[in-house]
Amino acid sequence: MKIVGLITEYNPFHNGHLYHIKESLRVTGADAAVVVMSGDYVQRGTPAIMPKRIRAEMALMCGAGAVFELPVCYATGSAELFALGAVSLLESLGIVDSICFGSECDDLPSMEQLAELLLEEPEAYQILLKAYLKQGMSFPRARQEAILSYTEDSQLAEILRNPNNILGIEYLKAIKKLGSRMEPYTIARRGAQYHDEELDSDYSSATAIRSLLAYSSSSFNTEPVEGNYDELSFSGILSELENQVPKCCLELLKDYHKVQYPISQNDFSLILKYKLLNKQPESLVRYVDVSPEIASRIANQLNNFFNYKQFCDLLKTRELTQTRVNRALLHIMLGTKKANVEEYIDNGYHMYARLLGFRKDNAKLLTAMSKESSLPVLTKMSEIDDLPELGQKMLRHDMLASNLYTSVVTDKFKTAFQNEYKQGVLKV
């Protein structure tokens, strides 16, 4: 039985993701796909537009064999940390033969060349990188310029311009760093680009779809909606999305609209401000992605806090990207400390694999994993007592983050609170 691993966010699930699942099974010859998915918060440092179980159900209905949750400390980390967390989890399951990811370039040899270079970081490259950073460039831009100067290969450096390429390179680095036996594959991204805000004919970006879904709940909006949309009813918006998401996902979008989604960054504004008001500036650097510069800017600008997104915009600079600021503030809000993450990494990255859901016709995956996985596969929270102390700490952090998200959903849409400790495994 061949298994392909997919690393995803599905924020939300759309036609491009369905294509990815189908193509991954085809190009690898795998019998089933195992997905590692971000939970209620995503790598760009924001809450997901809808809860993780809705997104997991969409994936299972569209062909994923099983969906595991990536712990929140990795799901909201830098591209490097995100990749290491996800790849190490797939490796630990013991049954995954390959990893297949999307990319803009569809050039695996060049991506592997970059991965090798960035993993080794030759001294000459490091000197160039530091020089560009001193010029005030953001890290992504400085790295691209350093690669160009070091390799004198503009096509190679251009690969680092696109977000899916960057993540793909980090997956390849992680595979090499972990000494994984999993074989990498890449498939070309189809349709719109990652940041495109307008709908494409068939393969729109998640950014464009999120914008439309946020607009669909204008009476609940807490921040401006990107993109240009005429006045549309929700039924009209669903019509707009008919060619953008699988039909089964469209039904879930309809069922859960203004019940569990859409959720935005600004829905967490008061929670974040409360956290910041209770922190001393010098203590902020304990949190992941918070540099002394970011901590100083937070302290100096806190009186100008009006809402979450506005504060992120206020803190960003030419050197500090929006995503870096987003992640820093999210880590403060969720209490993700550098020391804790370092401890998890030093102890093998993971102490458990939390199953969100599986397809009944792929139940044999669970049987195989129970025999081969180096981690306990968690299906109910009563199993937390069987974990080592560090694993319990990690899982409780995940639980708190999820319950915080659910509390926002409950408050926004006046729905019943669903405690994370009582949630079961999805079966499709």
Annotated binding site for ATP: 7-20, 102, 164, 189
Query: What H or E segment, with its residue span, contains residue 8?
Result: strand 3-8
- Number of neighbouring beta carbons within 10 Å of residue 407: 13
What would the 3-class secondary structure string for 324-335 be? HHHHHHHHHHHC
* Beta-bridge mates of residue 183: 98
Cβ-contact 404, 126 below 8 angstroms:
no
What pairing do the DSSP bridges indicate for beta strands 183-188 and 98-103? Answer: parallel
DSSP reduced 3-state for 378: strand
Cβ-contact 34, 93 below 8 angstroms:
yes
E strand spans, 147-275: 183-188
Residue 379 main-chain phi, psi, to 5 deg:
-120, -15
Residue 127 main-chain phi, psi, to 5 deg:
-65, -45
Residue 283's closest CA among 223, 331, 222? 331
> Measured between alpha carbons, how far is 312 from 189 in angstroms, rounded to an integer?
29
E strand spans, 90-157: 98-103
Residue 238's closest CA among 224, 219, 221, 257? 257
- Residue 383 Rama label (left phi>0; alpha psi -120 to 50; beta): alpha
E strand spans, 62-146: 66-70, 98-103
What angle (nearest 5°) sits at the alpha carbon of residue 238, between those of residues 233 and 241?
130
Q: Quick one: how many helices (H) and strands (E) in the chain? A: 19, 8
Annotated binding site: 7-20, 102, 164, 189
Cβ-contact 87, 178 below 8 angstroms:
yes
Query: What H or E segment, with its residue span, contains residue 238?
Result: helix 234-241
End-to-end Cα separation, the chain, in angstroms: 21
What angle (nearest 5°) sits at the alpha carbon of residue 174, between those of residues 148 and 392?
140
